[in-house]
Amino acid sequence: MRKFFVITFLLVNFISFSKIRFVRVVFNSVASEDATILWEQFGGEFLSLTYSENDFSTENKLNIINIKKASSSNKFRGMNNYMVRLKNLKSNTKYYFQLEDSGGKSRIYHFSTCSNSPHDKLSLIAGGDSRDNSEVRRKANILVSKLKAHAVLFNGDFTGFDIQSQWIEWFQDWEYSISPDGRITPLIVTRGNHERANSVIVKLFDAPSSGIYYSTEFGGNLLNLISLNSEILKIGPQKNFLSSTLRKHKNFHWQIAQYHRPIRPHVKFKKEMETQYNNFVPLFEKYKNLRLCLENDSHTCKVTWPIVSSKDSLSFEGFKRDDESGIVYAGEGCWGAPLRAADDLKPWTRDAAAVNQFNWIFVSKDKIELRTVLYENSADVSELTEETRFSMPDKINLWTPSNGSLVEIYQQKDGKIK
């Protein structure tokens, strides 16, 4: 069935003669009201982007059509990258859009803004390290198309060498994350060590900060997602930003940090990130609503118990378990990069293993639920809808180590973390 939709998609684009490909959507400020649409214009002249709250492929006379010109464009990594920034959108609303150039029109795509109410639950997919194994990362991308999350948090190392051919292949593979009906899951991205410069993330994903550190708000005051940059100085402007955004959002129900390099990697040859330990962790621990950090880079899988920084006799590598006040650190890859053994476990490691996976995260006022999804069987997993996105689809393959497949994180004031 999926092959039928892919063939149909290709035929539609061929017949229209439009020169538009690699369409993606990003959130980078307030996910309930702002979004950027990006694509590559590989020929012809771009004319306009048309968008509406209604599917304008129908004969609905109530359609309100909006037409936008490009907000910005650049030539980078062998592609002509165009973007349209949409502001003041309605929250919790599905937007249909179509791109037109001198050769014709693209297919009709759609994405959804997030709710602006903290009472509405949030679904997020988090991972990174796709590198250059196209066959494996396509499986993960297909599962993205089926789970209908509100957003994908992609945490760096998109390609191996950050060169033109690899980026074109990456965007070709990312199109597998688009649902057969044209639904796009928005991205929120960070820089990894295989992105050679900050400009890569700015030009290809419209990051709002030249330093690639910024925050994205969800659900009114439900969640502040903090995207940090492991590849630049941790002191100075980035540390000032981290302190400022944590303080600004101290009354949000939750804050989550994402950054590429793990502070305490679970692969032996990876170096300890002392600069992050010294500059990020004290600020993370200052605010009770930050209970989860998402890390990548090592090409393995780990979840810690809640831990706090410590130098006392009970600590190991500067941390000790603290179920009352600790932060859970999860991730370390792996979206298709070569797997590495999880050979550096700590006393406060909950579970670790060398498996291809991403994290599937539900955020509500009361708790955060984290599951690790093994995506190798993505072709067999049933497809959810936006209305059923919090259900477990048939044949979903969850990582289920001895401590179980579900990690529940509660706010500190409750004093109960599982």
CATH of the domain at 277: 3.60.21.10
Q: How does strand 151-155 pair with strand 187-190?
A: parallel
Q: Which parts of 42-78 are beta strand (E)?
A: 46-52, 66-68, 72-76
The whole-angstrom separation of Cα 293 and Cα 365 is 18
Query: Which neighbouring-strand residues pair with 363?
Result: 122, 368
Last residue of a domain, one of 112, 131, 164: 112
Before 334, cis peptide (omega within 30)?
Answer: yes
- How do beta strands 254-258 and 307-309 pair? unpaired
CA atoms within 13 A on the CB side of 77: 24
Q: Of the residues 112, 146, 176, which one is the last residue of a structural domain?
A: 112
Judge whether residue 79 has pLDDT over 50: yes
User: Please, where are the H alpha helices in 249-294?
Assistant: 274-279, 281-286
Asked, for residue 384, whether it belongs to a domain, the answer is: yes
Domain range holding 365?
122-414
Predicted TM-score of the model (pTM): 0.94
Check whether residue 34 and residue 150 sit in a common domain.
Answer: no
Quick: pLDDT tens for 185-194: 999 999 999 9
Residues 355 and 215 in one domain: yes
Domain end position, chosen among 112, 131, 147: 112
| 137 within domain boundaries | yes
Other Cβ atoms closer than 10 A to 87:
11
In a domain, 335, yes or no: yes
Residues 102 and 176 in one domain: no
280, 154: one domain: yes
Residues 87 and 228 reside in one and the same domain: no
Residue with tokens 């880079």: 297
* 407: in domain: yes
Say which residue the tokens 């990362």 belong to: 137
Predicted confidence (pLDDT) per residue in 158-193, tens digit: 999 999 999 999 999 999 999 999 999 999 999 999
pLDDT at 10: 46
Q: E-assigned strands of 271-366?
A: 290-295, 301-304, 307-309, 319-321, 328-331, 349-353, 358-363
Task: State the alpha helices, DSSP H only, in 63-189.
Answer: 134-147, 164-174
Q: Do 80 and 23 lie in a common domain?
A: yes
Together in a domain, 103 and 126: no
Q: Is 326 within a domain?
A: yes
Residue 418 CA to residue 290 CA, distance in Å, equals: 16
User: Do 357 and 232 share a structural domain?
Assistant: yes
Number of domains the chain contains:
2
Integer Cα distance of 251 and 248 in angstroms = 8
Same domain for 158 and 133: yes
14: confidence class by pLDDT, cuts 50, 70, 90: very low
Which tens digit of pLDDT belongs to each residue from 222-252?
999 999 999 999 999 999 999 999 999 999 9
- Identify whether 117 is part of a domain: no
How far is the CA of 352 from the CAs of 113, 137, 244, 295, in angstroms? 34, 21, 33, 13
Looking at the structure, do residues 156 and 241 belong to the same domain, yes or no? yes
Distance CA 156, CA 201 (A): 9
**DSSP-based three-state secondary structure for 281:** helix
Q: What is the CATH number of the domain that holds 84?
A: 2.60.40.380
Whether residue 65 is found in the same domain as residue 182: no
For residue 168, being part of any structural domain is answered with yes
